[in-house]
Structures are given as structure tokens and as C-alpha cells.
Structure 1
Amino acid sequence: MTHQDLAIRAFHPSDEPGVIQLWQACGLTRRWNDPRKDIARKLTVQSDLFLVGEVDGAIVGSLMGGYDGHRGWINYLAVSPAYQRRNYATALMAAVELKLLDLGCPKINLMIRSGNVAVKGFYDSLGFSQDEVISLGKRLIPDC
């Protein structure tokens, strides 16, 4: 799939360094989440929902999608700061939405960090709305 000059395709293992660099540039990595382990885990489950966006062969975007049979999930949506405001994130979301629809997925959920209020407007523009839920988490395998 392409969008203007953005080519969207499935992640390849050789993309790992570029994707991690992208996540770091976008402030998505955290010391308690090893991005290499996150990628390795994703490659064992629905790897076709892990997308990258390229411009002239350089990785400038990523999106890690998933579907558990009840809801779709979005993680690691990132566009390089130098390539933002070009609708690349919207194109990545549209691409994964088509894939999720093909799987019969009725709804997508995602979480944004409470400190990342700037991105909420982006998701609002795509039709997302805040659900009245409390997100809880429990780490089963520590990464560090």
C-alpha cells in the first residue's frame, strides 16, 4: 500500500535497527520496555499487522497492530519528527484498519500516555473517542 510518497509494508527483521531508532526519536521507548524484546514478541503473533512506512527506502513510520478476537489494538504508532504533518500516521492507521476489518475486527482500542495530550487530537480526528475505563497493567516478564 502507498500514500503519496509513503510506501507501507509489513515489518521485516532487518528493519529492527531503523524502527528502534524511530521509536527513540519519537520518545516511545521506556527503560522498562526493551524494544528488541517487544519486536521479537510481536513477530511471533500476527506479524502481518506490524507495519512500517518508508520514504525513498528509509523507515519514517511504524505501527504495531493486533487483534485478540474481540478488539483490535494499536501500539507504537510513530512517524519521524522530520516527516510529521504529512498524513503518514493517518495512512498507517488506514492500512491497519483495512487489515483488521478483513479479520472481522469490530472495534479498535489504543492507549496513549497521560502526558502525551498532543496526540489525543490526532486520534480524535480519526474518529476515536475516550472510553470511560481505567487501564490496568501487570508485568509478567520483566524486560530489565
Structure 2
Amino acid sequence: MEVRPFTPADSEAVVQLWQDCGLTRPWNDPYKDIARKLSVSPDLFWVGCDADGSIVASIMVGYDGHRGWINYLAVHPGHQRQGNARSLMKLAEQVLTEQGCPKLNLQIRAGNKAVIAFYESLGYVDDQTVSLGKRLIPDL
């Protein structure tokens, strides 16, 4: 898999990837999520392409000067268990470390045991925190 920066022309393929991976939700407009990311650190949004150039993976990385965040890490089901997600996480960790980021956070939907196990295999641990959210701008 070759990793490269996301471009706006990738939007349709990336949204389809997120849908194929079950990451989209009715209350989040994925196109608005992409537009928001492109307005803040667009250089931390990458896609992974297979040999024919098709997008098979994505990752949005954030850093606010205090913590790093991972969003929309996705690997197409036909390309999973080949080290692609691991490669994207390694890149994210390397870039954030170079930027001086002391800690990386991510959120996983409760009950998603396979994804929890994946992140645990990379050294991530349950911080024993409760994640709260409040929608400030509705997408729909």
C-alpha cells in the first residue's frame, strides 16, 4: 500500500470506503467531516492506495498542541489483516512525535472488540475515562 496525502478528488472514494467499513452514521455528514478536516491541518489526512491506485485506506490525524487524535482509520475489508492499518498508525505516531505530541488518543465504539484488540496490540490501553460529546453544529 502506498500512502499519500488526501486530495479533494478523493472524497467520493473515501466516503465509500468509510461506508464499506461501517464508519458512517446518520447524524454525521462525512462530506462535512472531510471539509472540516481540510480547513484544519489538511496535511494530516492521508489515504492508502493499492497497486492500481484505488483508495483502500484512510486516516485523519489531529494535533491541538496538547493531544493527538485519530479519526476515520479505515481499511477496506478486502485489504484488512495485511498490516495496512498498522502502517497508517505507525506513520501517524511518527509524524505526531516529530511535532512534539506527548500523547495520542482515539475513540472506539463500545463493543467493537476486534478494533479494541487491534489497538491494544499496538500498545494502546484503556485510559479509564468517559468520553462525552455535545453537537455544536448539527450536520443534518
Residue deviations 1:32-85 (CA, integer Å, cap 9, x gap):
000000000000001111110000200000001100101000010000000001
Unaligned runs of at least 5 residues, structure 1 = 1-5
Aligned match of 2:11 in 13, 16, 20? 16
Letter in 2 for 1:131: D
Asked whether 1:123 is paired with 2:122, we answer: no
Q: Which residue of 1 aligns with 2:35?
A: 40
Aligned to 1:90: 86
- What are structure 2's unaligned runs of at least 5 residues? none
**Residue 77 of structure 1 aligns with which residue?**
73
| Alpha-carbon distance in structure 2 between the residues aligned to 1:38 and 1:51 | 14
- Partner of 2:59: helix, strand, or coil? strand
TM-score (norm 1): 0.95
| Aligned-partner Cα distance in 2 for 1:70–1:114 | 25
Per-residue deviation, 1:115: 2.9
> What is the aligned residue count?
139
Runs of 4 or more, structure 1, over 6 Å off, are: none
SS in 2 for 1:77: strand
